[in-house]
Amino acid sequence: MSEKIKIAVLGYGNLGRGVELAAQNSKDLELTAVFSRRNPSEVKTCGAPVFSADEILSHKGKFDVLVLCGGSATDLPTQTPEFALNFNVVDSFDTHAKIPEHFAAVDAAAKKGGKVGIIAVGWDPGLFSLNRLFGESVLENGSSYTFWGKGVSQGHSDAIRRIKGVVDARQYTVPIESALERVRAGENPKLSTREKHLRECYVVAQDGADKARIEHEIKTMPNYFADYDTSVHFIDLATLKKEHGGIPHGGFVLRSGATGERGENKHLIEFSLKLDSNPEFTASVLVAYARAAYRLAQKGERGAFSVFDIAPALLSPKSADELRREIL
Amino acid sequence: MSEKIKIAVLGYGNLGRGVELAAQNSKDLELTAVFSRRNPSEVKTCGAPVFSADEILSHKGKFDVLVLCGGSATDLPTQTPEFALNFNVVDSFDTHAKIPEHFAAVDAAAKKGGKVGIIAVGWDPGLFSLNRLFGESVLENGSSYTFWGKGVSQGHSDAIRRIKGVVDARQYTVPIESALERVRAGENPKLSTREKHLRECYVVAQDGADKARIEHEIKTMPNYFADYDTSVHFIDLATLKKEHGGIPHGGFVLRSGATGERGENKHLIEFSLKLDSNPEFTASVLVAYARAAYRLAQKGERGAFSVFDIAPALLSPKSADELRREIL
């Protein structure tokens, strides 16, 4: 084995920690630096050295790929283009509607800096996107469906926490099994928002709070809950911590299509994920694409890439020969 | 839309016909020629003109990609390298053990001819291989499983037909649900051949044939049946044609893995196919990779490729911008 690929992370929350753990599972990668906006002495990693985010430019040339582990709302739109000027970067930007402008900004910066930037890596966008692409490319006469869950939505949990009288809350997005079954049966149904997912809320209320009002405010909240069948369960804080402390997620991508002279032959392609830890799995995908970023840079590639632009072999620690012999 | 990509097929059995039907579903591809070793006047296509396989070289330059629709046992080992000297080619070579030597032969020929050759395209090898690669690259700490079926195995059906006293037969490979469930539960089981699949045989015997002997010969046949729990059902020819006339297939690729400091978080990636027509679905995958072959050739690429080497965006009729905007 030749020298390991050196990666660094910027941001050490759940995702950054997940990258460290994923790199420890890998034979050909190592995490050599964590950059944080917190005081480095207060950041407790699983072994990787911690530096202040302010000094990141002084590490130029010391590692191969920077994995950006900030949020899509405010961190990544500025960070990814900024750091693509000086480093090969990978991010998990997941604001689907803003992907085109983010891609353009990263592409311009990475080309200027002579670097590779891979954006929107994870499972959705990411592995789910790939499966949407394979599905519609192979079965051109067909319909695509994406279902999410069962899993915790941080955004919806936060929205509940902002309601007066709420101490803490956890929201699960739940795919509706009967809708999934209709897709699997080849019905090609048109499904409304309400027909695809349920929202289950576990809420800790303050002592004496008006639970009926809280439940009403949740169920009628525009964008977040009003278009869904939503259930609200009041529980105590100890139960919330004990039974709802994880960050599971997952979902399904389905392509239902037909071939034959009269579309008489039906086909179903289904991809699904069941994840105990959404951030640790997302981090594992980021690490595989960090490997690809390094290899693309070694080949002289420059600019922005998405998962669509990357030959799958680049994700594997195995050589092309090994892959053909062992798993093709 | 610019001019369509012109494809041709060599061999017009179930697979070649499937390529014609798949191309008809596509906006950016057209099938412009069928080459057959049969008398062209006897080959009835769904519209594409038919030529003798002997005159294929005289069509050089008239189409963009040749899709080779022969068999892996005797046709493709010679055909794919031979035609890669003069055409961009795609094949569905599926003898897993011989993929490395086939790849090497096609690579040498395609480089010599200045062409692109994509080998081992379909669903296994093909989409299943891709999912094995994604699974083990993302969850490095884990186990991979492939199950096939429920579906018709032509090789096993043929093996039964060779038994004395058998008029016709159909063999289904059936994944064992309880084994699948153990994988999905994260048990990472070691599964023997017998624990993964059943073999169900529907057999039409000659009048007066010794059914007990036929059943015994099937169940004890080395390599094909002896290592499996096999059931044998004798039916009449009319029932076989009515209820077992299709060529369904499918299967499952699973990756079960763990992340976290002590592997405490379990993850399951599952990909599955349920196909009414194995050859028509395989043909649909071939057509998507024919599109990729054309684009690789346009970019100046040369030599052999497998599905591992091809950026997914090349499979889609959509532009990179459209893909990022619509399905990333």
User: Do B301 and B215 belong together in one domain?
Assistant: no
- Closest C-alpha among A125, A128, A124, A122 to residue A289: A122
Residue A142 assigned as binding residue: no
Say yes or no: A155 and A239 in one domain: yes
Residue B132 falls inside a structural domain = no
* Token pair belonging to A7: 């990666």
- A183 and A222 assigned to the same domain: yes
> A318-321 contacts: CB < 8 A, separation 24 or more?
A320/B308, A320/B309, A321/B100
Query: Around Cβ B58, how many Cβ atoms within 10 Å?
Result: 9
Q: Is residue B206 part of a domain?
A: yes
Q: For the domain that residue B195 is a member of, what is the CATH number?
A: 3.30.360.10
A157 and A90 inside one domain? no
The 10 Å Cβ neighbour count of residue B320 is: 16
**B238 assigned to some structural domain:** yes
On chain B, the residues whose CB falls within 8 A of the CB of A22 are 140, 259
Assign residue B301 the CATH number of its domain: 3.40.50.720
Indicate yes or no: CB of B136 within 8 angstroms of CB of A260.
Answer: no
Flag whether pLDDT at A62 surpasses 90.
yes
Task: Inform me whether the pLDDT recorded for A123 exceeds 70.
Answer: yes
Neighbours of A193 (CB within 10 A): 9
What's chain A's average pLDDT? 97
In a domain, B38, yes or no: yes
Whether residues A112 and A202 share a domain: the answer is: no
- Distances in whole angstroms, Cα of residue A136 to Cα of each of A141, A148, A242, A263, B26: 8, 19, 42, 16, 11
CB A215 within 8 A of CB A233: no
Please check whether residues A156 and A49 belong to one and the same domain.
no
Same domain, B111 and B14: yes
Q: Do A324 and B313 touch (CB under 8 A)?
A: no
pLDDT tens digits along A193-250: 999 999 999 999 999 999 999 999 999 999 999 999 999 999 999 999 999 999 999 9
Q: Which of A247, A264, A290 is the last residue of a domain?
A: A247
Annotated binding site of B: 12-15, 36-38, 69-72, 92-94, 121-125, 148, 173, 199, 249, 278
Q: What is the pLDDT of residue A168?
A: 97
Mean pLDDT of A283-294: 98
The answer, for A226 touching chain B at a CB cutoff of 8 Å, is: no
Give mean pLDDT, residues A164-176.
Answer: 97
Is B319 within the bounds of a domain? yes
Positions in chain B whose pLDDT score sits under 70: 1-2
Domain count, chain A: 2
Number of Cβ pairs < 8 A linking chain A and chain B: 219
Structural tokens at position A167:
């101490």
Cis, bond preceding A150 (omega within 30 deg of 0): yes
Residue A313 CA to residue A318 CA, distance in Å, equals 8
Question: What is the value of pTM for the model shown?
Answer: 0.97
**Residue A199 is assigned to a ligand binding site:** yes
* Whether B172 and B114 share a structural domain: no
Joined together, the tokens standing for residue B293 give 């072959």
Q: What is the pLDDT of residue A187?
A: 95
Interchain proximity A311–B316, CB inside 8 Å: no
Q: Do B161 and B118 share a domain, yes or no?
A: no
pLDDT by residue (tens digit) across B41-84? 999 999 999 999 999 999 999 999 999 999 999 999 999 999 99
Chain B: residue whose CA lies nearest to A28: B140
Residue range(s) defining the domain that contains residue A219? 151-247
Complex prediction ipTM:
0.97
User: In whole angstroms, what is the distance from residue A215 CA to residue B134 CA?
Assistant: 42
Q: Over range A282-294, report the average pLDDT.
A: 98
| B99·A324 Cβ contact <8 A | yes
Residue A172, in any domain of the structure: yes
Question: Which residues in chain A touch residue B133, judged by CB atoms under 8 angstroms apart?
Answer: 312-313, 315-316, 323, 327
What pLDDT shows up at residue A270?
Answer: 98
Q: Does residue A196 form part of some domain?
A: yes
Same domain for A111 and A155: no
| Contact assignment for B272 to A276 by CB distance below 8 Å | no
Residues B292 and B181 in one domain: no
